[in-house]
Chain A
Amino acid sequence: MAGKGIKSLSEALRGLSLGAQPCRTRPARKAAMGCTRTMATAVEGKPSNITRSVSEVYTPLTTVPVTIHAFPTLEPRSLEAWSTKHLYLPLRRDILHLAVVYEGDKTRQGTASSKTRWEVSGSHRKMRPQKGMGMARIGTRQSPLMRHGGKVFGPKPRDFSTKLNRKVYDLAWRTALSYRYRRGELIVTEDGLDLPLPDEFLYAASKGVLGREIEDGFVSRYLAELLAGLKWGKEHGRTTFITGDRRPNLFTGLEAGGENGRALELDDVDVKDLLETGRIVIERSALREMIKMHSSDLVQRVQVPGLRTKPQLGTAIVQ
């Protein structure tokens, strides 16, 4: 009986869906507009295909392409198909805001501390007699009314962290990645993302003929020129590199030349980092791991035989 009820409910809901609506046209504006001037924001021409006929089969976009590049040549090496639920989510500024505030609250140190009158050191002797001195009555020198006395409602160490549902936070991660993807600011590289340094420099460094200052200066300038060539440098909004673990050349290079970008290990990345700087350069395995770790909202409790409970991580199209 219950099964029949659910079936009829689902039928009713299907009737309400967009796909079941007959093809409707936009109502044409009858009244003549007072202003005939063309506005800069006006849309020219009639928008086409805002509705879909019932006879047309609804085939929504399910995957988007992700090209894996070589670094630093930026040569496309392979192609993967990723679910739209991973990398093509609509922009939700509210969710991103929630996530950034949540992270900010969580990272507050919260160590500000002041002393109450009971914690200020010193004798609790009455400062002067209650009467007879011609002055106001006072008690101890720890009184909040006194200079160097205690603080009444001062800060005490506390935890500022707020709560955010795990599924909302995970959605924020993928929304941030999707935002970057849509803008063409997510560059996925092959595994082993690192800064290749010239052989002759490494040879000279291995011989110890360059001082540390010269080495630092060389790497910093070399990286600056490399990023400038790719239009990824300071003039183009800096670049965030994300790798699975610490890569010596890349990380030390960007420590020396931080004005052009930053390098982060996967464990150190948060949503705010994904929204900062001009672009995100991430290695393939780090992206997979990041999305794998933040897919809690994609798991369905209802198990249907033959259907996947969550979208598959990127599948190779061109290897």
Chain B
Amino acid sequence: MRRLPRLPAPAAGLVPSSSSMGLTTTTTTTTTALRAPAASVTGTAWIPSPRLGNDRRHLSTTAPNAARLKKPTFEFDLDLAPEHEPETHTRRQPVAAPFRYPCGRRNAPRPDELDNDATYRPAETADGLEEVGGLADWWDKPEHWGPKGAAEYVRSVVGWFGPVEKVTDPALLEVLVKRAVVEALAVARSAKGRSLEARAEVEQVFAHTANGAYKLQDIVAVSIQPSGSEVATLEKAEAARVWDVLRGAVPPDGAAGQAKKKKKRLLQRTLVRPEHAQELIDSPSWDKGWKKAVLRNAVAKFWAAKRIQQLTGHHIADSKLIGDVTVGAILKMLEEPVKPPKLAELLQNKAAFEGLPNVRVFPRRVTPIDKDKMEGRWKIITRELKERDLPIIGTGGYSGAVEKRWVEGK
């Protein structure tokens, strides 16, 4: 069996090192980047020392500093603590973890460890031994992953960008996409020639308004086609106003902002309701023609796609955003197409054969078994086949007549 190389003792093999945050610039030499040790994209990585080789499992998640070599700090549910017994045969002390791992196992003493026990005779057969099972399906049991199961555990560790469940309500999608487009245009207008710090500010603002509820009405009321232009754009003053509104969501630093922080956190939890979105669309002030606006600027499209993903959970592929794309086309991509009705349903709804007593419509093929059921023969057939110990459906592994093939000369 293949064995994964395990992490060695930290002091022996792991050297904490820092890596650059985020993406390296595009001017980085590709060859050197290719051979660089695996670096985390989100934070500090732990890289194995060269003498260990490159094939050992190492820490690659967010690791702030070398202090991570000590016990990690995480919320630990005492109820889920592994039940370990104070026993002499366990090699290592158990560690606390939010998941449950088998740690109460004991190894039987080897014959050479027994001190001249004259009564001891090694077993020659496995008769009488209790079967306790292996560890192959240990992680298939949800209770071993914590209170909410494996999927929830992974979700809590990884943290997706955007909501876990995609937004599917059409009204909600429309409102959130409009919000995303307005914000993207505002950012694209103001972010021209901006530095990395400015980019970080945009990320921060978007993170604080990740659910899309903050000042929703103010933002979606903005027209993205001033003076009836075909291309989606924002007036300079309007872009600045939108940006100011958005920046208001970020709590100011310092003690004065502590009270506001709590309020903002509460605000973040509130989500946009579909009914509220529908009200906004139905209101007379809602611009009906905004979907015809064309997105042309690549930067605006990038921010729009990113913001749409953050607000609705829908990922838009790059190939869908090539050239001039209308906002309506983007919205259409996100909306799930209405499933066309089946022919049987359609005929039933239309009552197409209502006056014809000899015509019936079935949703699927009428099989011989269906015909038997209609005639009331099927129960009898089943019973008789069971009595004879014959297969009810299929040939039961018996092949067709061999002689037939001989006759056919195959």
Contacts and interface: CB of A to CB of B under 8 A. Distances in A.
Contact of A208 (B6, B56, B158): B6
Given A197-B60, A206-B7, A215-B4, A229 B158 contact: yes
Interface size class of B (residues with CB under 8 A): 35 or more
Interface residues of A, number: 84
Contact of B95 (A197, A209, A215): A209
Nearest to B316: A184
A225 B315 contact: no
B54 interface: yes
B259 interface: no
A8 interface: no
Interface stretch (A22-30, A124-132, A309-317): A309-317
A207 to B, nearest CB: 5
Contacts of B45: 192
B266 to A, nearest CB: 25
Given A81-B298, A184-B318, A190-B22, A196 B33 contact: no
Contact of B41 (A71, A221, A246, A266): A71
Contacts of A292: 30
A215 B154 CA distance: 16
Given A65-B298, A219-B4, A183 B319 contact: yes
Contacts of B10: 206
Contacts of B18: none
Contacts of B42: 70, 196
Interface string B36-64: 10111110010010000011111111110
A285 B138 CA distance: 38
Nearest to A222: B154
B8 interface: yes
A213 B26 contact: no
B97 A204 contact: yes
Interface of B: 2-10, 14, 19, 22-26, 28, 30-31, 33-36, 38-42, 45, 48, 54-63, 68, 71-72, 74, 91-95, 97-99, 101-103, 134-136, 138-140, 150-151, 153-155, 157-161, 164, 196, 199, 298-299, 301-303, 305-306, 309, 315, 317-323
Given A244-B36, A288-B30, A317-B298, 18 more contacts: A65-B298, A70-B42, A74-B315, A77-B41, A79-B299, A190-B22, A191-B24, A193-B38, A196-B157, A197-B57, A197-B59, A200-B97, A215-B4, A225-B154, A244-B34, A252-B4, A285-B33, A286-B34
